[in-house]
């Protein structure tokens, strides 16, 4: 039984095309706006955008808003917990490459234990340890950015998508 893959692909595209393209365009617009806002804040705070760890969080929260790691507890808590782990490891070891790797592993454990698992936050301890960042990094950009991203996501999903978000706050 030979199956024509082109025919199957055409059927799949015609079945989902308009809805997927529209959803993707809306999600892409939301991500672009959020990154633009983060770019403005990075300029105002004198932090390069590459040091602000929210691009992947934006993709997750805008593109998959119903999954557990995209909920506010994980979004805010995951970033704060992982940055705290990075800062603690940096204080204990200094800016060593092995310490940055250990900090990422420990932050995964800490996010699981605290119920704040947010995969994009795994970059925080790497940035903190390898960049020898100060404790103020925890407040700005991490906490402030996570709160702003949560507020943006709430408004985006409620006003633009007309969908409830979050599923739960805590």
- The alpha carbons of the chain give a radius of gyration, in whole angstroms, of 19
pLDDT of residue 1: 46
CA 26 remoteness from chain centre: 18
The contacts of residue 57 (CB under 8 Å, 6+ apart) are 75, 79, 118, 120, 121, 146, 149
Altogether, the residues listed in the chain come to a count of 170
pLDDT of residue 10: 59
CB of 70 closer than 8 Å to CB of 119: no
Nearest to 35 by CA among 50, 20, 25: 50
pLDDT of residue 16: 55
Rounded distance between C-alpha atoms, residue 168 and residue 38, angstroms: 25
Q: What is the mean pLDDT of each run of 10 residues along the chain (170 residues)?
A: 60 58 80 84 73 85 94 98 98 97 98 97 96 92 90 90 92
Q: Where are the domains of the chain?
A: 5-160
Helices (H), 46-71: 55-63
């Amino acid at each position: 039984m030979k199956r024509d893959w082109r025919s199957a692909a055409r059927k799949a595209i015609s079945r989902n095309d308009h809805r997927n393209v529209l959803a993707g365009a809306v999600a892409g617009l939301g991500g672009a706006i959020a990154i633009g806002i983060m770019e403005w804040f990075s300029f105002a705070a004198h932090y390069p955008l590459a040091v602000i760890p929210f691009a992947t969080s934006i993709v997750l929260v805008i593109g998959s808003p119903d999954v557990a790691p995209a909920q506010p507890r994980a979004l805010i808590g995951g970033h704060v917990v992982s940055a705290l782990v990075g800062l603690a490891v940096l204080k204990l070891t200094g800016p060593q490459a092995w310490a940055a790797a250990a900090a990422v592993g420990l932050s995964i454990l800490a996010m699981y234990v605290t119920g704040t698992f947010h995969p994009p936050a795994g970059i925080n301890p790497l940035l903190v340890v390898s960049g020898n960042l100060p404790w103020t990094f925890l407040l700005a950009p991490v906490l402030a950015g996570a709160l702003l991203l949560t507020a943006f996501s709430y408004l985006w999903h409620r006003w633009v998508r007309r969908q409830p978000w979050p599923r739960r706050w805590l």
